[in-house]
Structure 1
Amino acid sequence: MSENRKIAQDVIEAVGGKGNIQSVAHCATRLRIMVNDKEKVNQEQVEQISKVKGAFYNSGQYQIIFGTGTVNRIYEEITGLGLDTKSASEQKKEAVKSGSKFQRAIRTFGDVFVPIIPVLVATGLFMGVRGLVMQEQILDLFGMQPEDISENFLLFTQVLTDTAFAFLPALVAWSTFRVFGGTPIIGLVLGLMLVSPSLPNAYDVAGGNVEALRFFDIIPVVGYQGSVIPAFIAGLIGAKLERAIRKRTPESLDLILTPFLTLLVMIALSLLVIGPIFHAVEQGILDVATNVLSWPFGLAGLLIGGLNQLIVITGVHHVFNMLEIQLLAEFNNNPYNAIVTGAVAAQGGAALAVGLKTKSAKLKALALPSSLSAFLGITEPAVFGVNLRYGKPFIMALIGGAASGFLASILGIKATGMAVTALPGILLYLDGQVLQYILVNVVAVAVAFVLTWMFGFSDKEQEKIGKPE
């Protein structure tokens, strides 16, 4: 019997046998199991299984971390044992019914914004590369000055860096229609209407160069370039309206009437009601966030950096995606990323200390690769497989995150993008901030490593709580 087949059988036994498993799916790093009875799952037995880097409940699923590549092989073995397997998206639809209303709301919020993050990450990287290329020191290497850069090259870089945010409402409305059961292309067109060139540009109106249109002499109407919440609300209401219209429209007229009525009603509602109201709400949220991030003496960094990974394990961290998108759309920078990157790196520092200090071969094999994963921006193996498992290393990593967040706030560094942290995050700070960014991450790793080594872990404590040797 192969090792992976044995692991698959051990997993089935540890989660209560085949009779306790509704379905099995997997993502890039985790095996996701829907179980009938949580009480039948033996957590300690699961954690003892070879190649398992941690296990936890999230989004109505029992998720076992195996890591990239390994999880595919274990899933194939489980498929061969005759269990009901589903795609991750199919199983997610089943899981979405579980949890509290608040958890389901946060999960839905994440489903809307997570799919558009990759293009915003790419945009941030483009901004970072442009910042690097435009630095005088770099231009000097090629015997050039800033004034030597051609207009066409600058225009090309603007296309790369400005497009996603110029049409951000279209991306948000498209994704919102998709999540709430509408036709995504209708959502896309509705979002494009919100940034139509026929409307006064939001940035020009904010700069005082252009006047907003006045409907009925009192309602200001502008384009919503860079807006998130108005597009989200328009998408939410629009998807529900489309479904309601479709139910009441004869099939022979559906193709004509449903999109016509949906767009007609929604663009009027969006420009005259949703836009003015929720743009004010969005601006209020942004004002509060920027005020917090500008707290003196590094207090914002201390608080956010210290709590970030604690928030992550609760699963509600997707809320902050919207904040980061707003910051980038409004200011073309993201101080939040600079603060939380140290929180990520600190988890790697704590796991590294555990891996180097322990004499357990199994724990070394788990902790050292997990720390590398965290240094690459993925903390799940380090958090769930090592730090949270032993308790104290997680606390020491939170302290490391607080220290690095404090330093990031004091230095005032700001990313050009979002969603990329630790080592890959360097690409978001190529505009002259790279040394400060590296220092922030080094402090995070050093504080978490030293505290974990000195106070956070010992093999004696590990033996007391019966963890793998």
Structure 2
Amino acid sequence: MAASTASQIIEAIGGAGNVKSLTHCATRLRFELVDAGKVDQHRLETMKGVLGAVPQSGDRYQVVIGGAVATMYENIMHLPEMAGVGAGKGAVAGDKAQSDADVKAAERAKVRGKVAWMDSFFEYLSDSFRPILGVLLGASIIIALINLCISIGIVPGEEANTSLVFIKAIWKGVFYFLPIMIAYNASKKLKVDPWLGGSIMAALMTPSSPT
């Protein structure tokens, strides 16, 4: 079924010949196309397994998949007709394909339309948060489970309840140090020493900081 959906996505996007490169983020497939006018958006939006289709500036196109985006990306890239796609401009058959990071860097270097600054801004935010999404999800699940146990009376809800001190410390620690983690990732995105970015944020978070 997944392989069938992958084939249908490529057909709706205009065929493998219309795809210059393909990368993905946390939830979306990111296509760089030869001609975005060939995309059948209605077919994409009504396709099982696809949550949405979003045209971008120029000939870029995003297909929203959700949490299964990595699997869908692999299924698409393993289609016979996709051989060589994503190898970059000027590549020939048999050349080593570029990594996702290389393709993204090449696309960012191109003209991106009237809202290029907005695309770059949201891409920067996305790349700063993406590496810690799993940690945030885990902390949120812990919060939900604690509140559920308290609401149905499995454990008492008093703040002095020592049985929950350690469990609460897990999710509180994640959100307390969240600015440092974001600063670390944001620094990497800017190609600055990530430890420097994290240290600056840690200094700003200290109780004795003038801020």
TM-score class, shorter: 0.5 to 0.7
Distance in structure 1 (CA, Å) of the matches to 2:45 and 2:167: 51
Contact 1:26–1:72, Cα closer than 8 Å, also in 2: no
**1:79-118 equivalence runs, <5 A:** 81-85=83-87, 86-97=98-109, 98-99=112-113, 100=115, 101-118=117-134
Amino acid at match of 1:127: I
Q: What residue is the counterpart of 1:125 in the other structure?
A: 141
Contact 2:26–2:130, Cα closer than 8 Å, also in 1: no
Q: What residue is the counterpart of 2:61 in the other structure?
A: 62
Contact 2:187–2:193, Cα closer than 8 Å, also in 1: yes
Distance in structure 1 (CA, Å) of the matches to 2:126 and 2:82: 33
Question: Could you state the TM-score of these two structures normalised by the residue count of structure 2?
Answer: 0.64
Amino acid at match of 2:145: V
1:102: how far off?
Answer: 2.5
**Matched position secondary structure for 2:79:** helix
Unaligned stretches of 5+ in structure 1?
Answer: 140-144, 201-220, 223-275, 277-469
Distance in structure 1 (CA, Å) of the matches to 2:76 and 2:188: 32
Matched, 1:188 2:183: no
Matched, 1:43 2:53: no
Q: What residue is the counterpart of 1:395 in the other structure?
A: none
Contact 2:45–2:53, Cα closer than 8 Å, also in 1: no
Q: Deviations over 1:188-240 (max 9, x none)?
A: 222222334xx43xxxxxxxxxxxxxxxxxxxx44xxxxxxxxxxxxxxxxxx
Residue 25 to residue 176, structure 1, CA distance change in 2 (3 Å): closer
1:87: how far off?
Answer: 4.1
Residue 59 to residue 161, structure 1, CA distance change in 2 (3 Å): farther
**Matched position secondary structure for 1:138:** coil
Contact 2:128–2:186, Cα closer than 8 Å, also in 1: yes
Contact 2:21–2:33, Cα closer than 8 Å, also in 1: yes
Amino acid at match of 1:43: D
1:47: how far off?
Answer: 4.2
Contact 1:31–1:75, Cα closer than 8 Å, also in 2: no
Contact 2:16–2:82, Cα closer than 8 Å, also in 1: no
Contact 2:76–2:82, Cα closer than 8 Å, also in 1: no
Question: Could you state the TM-score of these two structures normalised by the residue count of structure 1?
Answer: 0.33
**1:3-18 equivalence runs, <5 A:** 4=3, 8=7, 11=10, 15=14, 18=17
- Structure with greater strand percent: 2
**Matched position secondary structure for 1:137:** coil
1:137: how far off?
Answer: 2.9
**Matched position secondary structure for 2:86:** coil
Distance in structure 1 (CA, Å) of the matches to 2:150 and 2:4: 54
Q: Deviations over 1:152-200 (max 9, x none)?
A: x24313321321232233112212211111011222222222334xx43
Taking only aligned residues, the RMSD between alpha carbons, in angstroms, comes to: 4.0
**Aligned pair count?**
190
Distance in structure 1 (CA, Å) of the matches to 2:31 and 2:64: 11
Q: What residue is the counterpart of 1:163 in the other structure?
A: 173
- Structure with greater helix percent: 1
Contact 1:30–1:71, Cα closer than 8 Å, also in 2: no
| Rg comparison, structure with higher value | 1
Matched, 1:138 2:154: yes
Amino acid at match of 1:94: A
Distance in structure 2 (CA, Å) of the matches to 1:154 and 1:65: 39
Distance in structure 1 (CA, Å) of the matches to 2:174 and 2:5: 47
